[in-house]
Amino acid sequence: MGNKMRTECPVCHCPAVVDFFYREAVPQFCNVLHDSRQSAITAPRGDLVMAYCGKCGHIFNRAFDSGHVNYRGMYENSLDFSPRFQDYSRKLAERLFTLFDLHKKTIVEIGCGRGKFLEFLCSQGNNHGIGFDPSHVSVDSDVLNQGQSGTVRFISDYFGEKYDYVKADMVIGRHVLEHVYEPANFIRDIRTASVDHAGLYLEVPNALHVFSDKGVWDIIYEHVSYFTASSLSVLVRRAGYRFVSLKQDYGGQFLSVAAEAGAGDFAPHKVEKEEGFSRAIVENFNRWFAERIEEWEKRLTELVCHNRRVVIWGGGSKGVMFLNNISTAGAVDGVIDINPMKQGHYIPGTGHQIVSPDSLQKSKPDVIIIMNPLYAEEIETFCRNVGIGVELTVV
């Protein structure tokens, strides 16, 4: 069932929201795998009507229709093949062990994907894990994996109130909350499915990075919400959690909260404060967006005029939106991605094929446009190690 245009903030329910950014007919999914170019080109589309809540600072897509979004099937957005992201995940696991003493606990991960992070937490702490993800692929819909230490059960379903019997000691949701149409209800379901004093860790895209750093390629239909430190604080506090930490991470691209369930003082402590976010940022975003589009359309036109072959590195959300937003996307010959699950598939909206980094030795492009600056060093190292002389530039 679809949704009407939303008129109030999904976090604090304030009706004083202001529209500030519009975009028609963007791909509804950036990370669904398309087996053919035709399927990718005709992928379903939706509109963006981005609004800002003047009360809690939340940003959301008023035109988002939850009836059009289904994560069952061929959905793949894992970053685990990047050495940089692997290092980040390892350090995050160490941090969670320290904050919450994750030993012999029941850990629930919502949106667990392939489940590698949950498996690691369970193997290292002799924990019992339950992973929820409608796109999780397994022989059965409900599978128990047993290792030398700890157990992990995967349920190929959306987490919700029907699983309130779980009674978790720790709940983790990494890059899930921004996809949820009713985030307040979602957090309440998590609280109900948790024991007293249970831990909570949520990680979302950082709205401050997306909008004040002009991250125009990070605005996608799948994300109904973009959380600021303020709106994430309001959401978690209202659900009955007290803060352990609230911080920006991964080069400022992520915003995370670690919290504990239970009555008490819900005022955040040990907070890395969000600075510089104001209504002026969203009011200027349309201009910033237009400038970035113009800049890259001009650069690609110049490259084509000089007979230079161009590919982009990054077949995830940033790459998809870059190609779908610029009118000169035809100047890009292809898309590189390190994730083997994406290779051989096609970019929704434009139909560019995704290929492996090894293909560069044969195709020999002149320019690689790197979609995420955090991966520039490992991309440069790869090109140097295989002897590819190519110009690298970061969007």
In 3-state terms, the chain is what percent helix, strand and coil (to 5)? Answer: 35, 25, 40
- Who contacts 133 (Cβ-Cβ below 8 Å, separation ≥6)? 71, 110, 111, 112, 113, 115, 154, 155, 156
Structure tokens of 286? 């349309």
Picking from 10, 5, 17, 20, the residue whose alpha carbon sits closest to that of residue 55 is 17
Determine the pLDDT at residue 258. 97
Specify the residue for token string 């005709």.
42
38-83 pLDDT, tens digit each: 999 999 999 999 999 989 999 999 999 988 777 766 788 889 999 9
Residue 231's nearest CA partner among 212, 206, 251 is 206
pLDDT at 350 over 80: yes
CA distance 205 to 185: 20
Chain mean pLDDT for the chain:
90
* pLDDT of residue 139 exceeding 50: no
Length of the chain counted residue by residue: 395
Q: In sequence order, what DSSP letters do the residues of 307-373 get, joined into one string?
A: T--EEEE--SHHHHHHHHH-TTGGGEEEEE-S-TTTTT-B-TTT-PBEE-GGGHHHH--SEEEES-G
Strand stretches in 54-206, DSSP E: 59-61, 106-110, 128-132, 142-146, 151-155, 168-174, 194-205
The single-letter code of the amino acid at 42 is T
What residue type is assigned to position 156 of the chain?
A: S
The pair of three-digit structure tokens given for residue 240, joined into one six-digit string: 């009955």
Q: Is the pTM for the entire model greater than 0.85? A: yes
Q: Taking a C-beta distance cutoff of 8 angstroms, is the pair 318, 342 a contact? A: no
* CA 224/CA 229 separation, integer angstroms: 17
Cα separation, 224 vs 222, whole angstroms: 6
Distance CA 166, CA 180 (A): 20
272-295 pLDDT, tens digit per residue, is 444 456 778 888 899 999 999 999
Residue 344 has pLDDT above 90, yes or no: yes
Q: What is the pLDDT of residue 69?
A: 78
Q: Report all structural domains of the chain as residue ranges with CATH numbers, in order of start.
A: 286-394 (3.40.50.720)
Percent of the chain past pLDDT 70, that is, above it, reads 91
Could you give the angle at the alpha carbon of 110 between the alpha carbons of 107 and 113, nearest 5°? 105
Residue 145 has pLDDT above 80, yes or no: no
Specify which residues 200 forms β-bridges with: 171, 259
